[in-house]
Amino acid sequence: METASQAIEAIFEVYRAEGERDYGGERLSQTAHALQCGLLAEKEGASPALITAALLHDIGHLVNPNDRVARNKGEDGFHEVIGCDYLSRWFGPDVTQPIMWHVAAKRYLTAVDAGYFSTLSQGSVRSLELQGGPFTAERAAQYIGRPFAKDAVMLRRWDEGAKVPRLETPSLEHFRPHIEASMKRP
């Protein structure tokens, strides 16, 4: 069985190997987006698990070899499902479920918050369309009642705010204590 340190190194290696890829046309890298999102969660006093979820919410883009192909074809690569599955070997639902539901949170917020759509970047507007568009009122009500949906909504707001080119952030290593505190215990 892997130690926590080995697991964290495996996660960090994903970012070292793939993280400099463009973050969906947003003028920053996948790693820069992840660090900004984790930092926003940390600044708001989120739990270690939610900070970890914020940091790692888009890892599905990096571990899926077909992600770029799907995006180039104008298809949804379901990065939230892939990321949740990938991380579930090390983390429980307090980390994986906000990741699983962060795309649905965008659909929820565009349905229930009249001003939210105007805060979306062009890339988020494009992906919203691929992901099914805003929820209906009925679907929004069903969604928000799910476990961890409210955490996913917070993550989604940080996600949208974490797209600032050249913003100075701490390194991945800064988040190690949050990640370690969030890991499953044997």
Terminal-to-terminal C-alpha distance of the chain: 9
**Angle, nearest 10°, between helix axes 149-161 and 137-144?**
110
Rounded to the nearest integer, the mean pLDDT of the chain is 92
Per residue in 6-56, pLDDT (tens digit) is 999 999 999 999 999 877 667 899 999 999 999 999 999 999 999 999 999
Q: State percent of the chain over pLDDT 70.
A: 91
Per residue in 106-119, pLDDT (tens digit) is 999 999 998 999 98
H helix intervals, the chain? 4-18, 30-43, 48-56, 59-63, 67-72, 79-87, 93-112, 122-130, 137-144, 149-161, 176-182
What pLDDT sits at residue 81? 92
CA-CA distance, 31 to 138, in Å (whole number)? 36
- In the numeric block, which tokens belong to residue 11? 């996660």
* Distances from the Cα of 178 to the Cα of 8, 41, 50, 75, angstroms: 11, 11, 9, 33
What pLDDT sits at residue 23? 74
Residue 97 has pLDDT above 70, yes or no: yes
Per residue in 124-151, pLDDT (tens digit) is 888 898 888 999 999 999 999 999 999 9
Which domains are seen in the chain, by residue range? 4-182 (1.10.3210.10)
Output 94 or 67, whichever has higher pLDDT. 94
CA-CA distance, 13 to 63, in Å (whole number)? 11
Residue 165 has pLDDT above 90, yes or no: yes
Residue 5 has pLDDT above 80, yes or no: yes
